Structure 1
């Protein structure tokens, strides 16, 4: 019988533990790593990198010779004659092979290949930028979730306190020590706290679904995100942050590469100034039948080789104005790069100031919470001793709840500002550790 009971207990334990075992538990670092592997925007950027690699190979292949063939049939309306004698046939078949080798293209092939390499490097930088933005977004959502979870706990604690106060009020009313108004006020505050708890729980569930989406998972995925809001000092100075941003931000690298691509486009715009030189080898077979075996009026086979030049030296300023357009585009992108540099510096300074402000708020919020808890304790004690009012208790309870929310918000804002600062510097920091 004892063995049977133990077996039933094990079955019961396993059955009710399956949902917990099935839930995936992720820290912030693990969430970031999964997001970088599975987020569709990152996967799309990597596909673009593969496409740009093929573009480089295609541009490189253009340096080599090209091979082509042509096969055709011509039917004449009447047989060719010369001085009353037949000079040809009605049916004419021709098979031709051509090998074409560019020799000089006005730097077109070389510049196109260099441009393809730059485009590949730019796509690689875009992947870095997409991944960096994704890391910051995941961290921001993760920290909002931790804040929402703390708000749920605070709302639950508030509800417990209010329900306890309601019981006290009800007991005092029933023995005639307090008016009915105190009990009704406590009931209203309990109902309000229940609504606030539902709102906090809904916000937590929404953020979990958002995180699941960022990680490339289903919104209904059973994932438990674990962590806690914490404070840690920021070791970097503003000057160090600005210097790191100039070296590491991928969007600045992308902008520099855009200027370099525009310079290559300027070279391509000047290609028509130069002659185009190429070599060709042709092999031709002719005949009166589809097998092109030759005939009385057809040469069975022949070949020729040639080197030629083509130069369009005047187009009414088309090339000149095209080059000027490309030159202005280089200047425009250069100015946009300078503007992006200024924006990057502003983002760093903004995040740095937000960190300093949140740091001061954390200190003030902690002191405020200590005072609010003591105030609530004293208000309850005074009410139970019949020397305080119900309004004092409810007011002190509300202030404690607000103080808890303020501390959670300050801690969340601090860590989110740190995440934004590292993003503004172009550095990855999956765990938000001091670097």
Structure 2
């Protein structure tokens, strides 16, 4: 019978412990499962993501190439992962408002116990802590985390804008390289024809051997230029395949040509659009707001920190903590605690002032960024006007150079012109065609950079 009594007490105490632990565990489980503000993006989600229409993996227009790059480029996957991380950070900051449940369990030995105390004791402590006032530190920390999420979203837009511009630049460089190939092929054909004519005149004794050699040298130089231009095309295709996350050995057809679409936006409108839409300016403003929250977080140590605690205790002479002679039953306590660091040699004041100076620094950097943006937009406006004028001049030069080459050939056939006249006219025509290609490419590149400078997404470079 004596052996059964401790077992009965042990079961009774275990029942008491379980009955007391159950509310704590249910309370903790409730707060663990309650979602905080903000939602987490799934793996494939992205803000303002482009449409996921299935594209032909071997043929892309400019707009389709941009959309493929935004969908498949690893840089976008990386920045979207950073956004998801920021959203989890906001959830983490939000949990600080809720109570925390902790447990302590251990063994202690007292070599000089008090009267009626226990020399050896096992102790179980379950604590529920609720912050009541932290000098607004928790609130500001959560708001800072929310701003971090907003900043991460803007960073996604910033990377998207930069990637759009990069793909557009490489695409236009490819179109330029193709035009250079076409011009080089025309040059080779013209020089081959001239070499045949010169050779024919030489064969009948009407032209010296020097003219034939001169024509052969110019043809060889044109063929080298053609090889260089063809390699430039292959290099640009490989670069675009890299940006679009395609296999480098894929035979990809990038469809398009250099065109001139007149566009003359007003500088003031472009500048206003840039101030409103450019992600880097928005990022700078978000950084100022976050720095302002850091000031308030640092200043929270000026205030007392107040919290409430609910504790459950149970002691025992063995690991089952079923009671001791001095404390046979478990007990609980509840209280409110206040901790106030009254003096720390100015640490909090210095930290707060340091945070304020950081706000001032970011404010001045934002002002400088606005100045740089205004210059960038202005310079691109001037460049757009310049390239548009160059196109008109280059088009006229090509027409005149073609007519000059035709006349030089006719004079040569009539034996009133020299081989050098024809070769010079051909070289002038090739240069005129190259100047027109450069002007057309520079115009569209400037157009793409202007849209990027104003923060506007225009994957297909469609002008209003």
Normalised by the length of structure 1, the TM-score is: 0.92
- 1:147 maps to 176
Query: 357, 374, 377: which is aligned to 2:406?
Result: 377
- 2:266 maps to 237
> Match of 2:310, SS?
strand
CA drift of 1:295 comes to 2.9
Verify the 8 A CA contact 2:383 2:446 in the aligned structure 1: yes
User: Is 1:360 matched up with 2:399?
Assistant: no
Whole-angstrom CA distance in 1 between matches of 2:461 and 2:112: 88
User: Is 1:46 matched up with 2:80?
Assistant: yes
- 1:135 maps to 164
> Match of 1:62, SS?
helix
Whole-angstrom CA distance in 1 between matches of 2:460 and 2:118: 84
Whole-angstrom CA distance in 2 between matches of 1:321 and 1:394: 78
- 1:18 maps to none
- 2:65 maps to 31
> Match of 1:34, SS?
helix
Whole-angstrom CA distance in 1 between matches of 2:273 and 2:112: 82
State the Cα RMSD in Å.
1.4
Whole-angstrom CA distance in 1 between matches of 2:400 and 2:310: 94
- 1:64 maps to 98
- 1:74 maps to 108
Whole-angstrom CA distance in 2 between matches of 1:221 and 1:257: 42
Matches within 5 A, 1:376-415: 376-415=405-444
User: Is 1:212 matched up with 2:241?
Assistant: yes
Matches within 5 A, 1:88-127: 88-127=117-156
- 1:253 maps to 282
CA drift of 1:155 comes to 0.4
Whole-angstrom CA distance in 1 between matches of 2:449 and 2:428: 31
- 2:228 maps to 199
Task: Could you tell me which runs of 5 or more consecutive residues in structure 1 were left unpaired when the two chains were aligned.
Answer: 1-21
Matches within 5 A, 1:259-408: 259-408=288-437
- What per-residue deviation string (whole Å, max 9, x for no partner) do you get for residues 330-358 of structure 1? 11111111100011111101111110000
CA drift of 1:141 comes to 0.9
Whole-angstrom CA distance in 1 between matches of 2:347 and 2:57: 66
Whole-angstrom CA distance in 2 between matches of 1:370 and 1:398: 14
- 1:226 maps to 255
CA drift of 1:113 comes to 0.5
Whole-angstrom CA distance in 1 between matches of 2:463 and 2:176: 21
Assess, with a 3 A threshold, how the Cα gap between structure 1 residues 81 and 95 changes in structure 2: closer, same or farther.
closer
Normalised by the length of structure 2, the TM-score is: 0.86
Matches within 5 A, 1:157-196: 157-196=186-225
Whole-angstrom CA distance in 1 between matches of 2:398 and 2:231: 25
Task: Could you tell me which runs of 5 or more consecutive residues in structure 2 were left unpaired when the two chains were aligned.
Answer: 1-55
Whole-angstrom CA distance in 1 between matches of 2:231 and 2:387: 26
> Match of 1:70, SS?
strand
Whole-angstrom CA distance in 2 between matches of 1:37 and 1:107: 41
Whole-angstrom CA distance in 1 between matches of 2:322 and 2:259: 88
Verify the 8 A CA contact 1:23 1:224 in the aligned structure 2: no
CA drift of 1:258 comes to 0.8
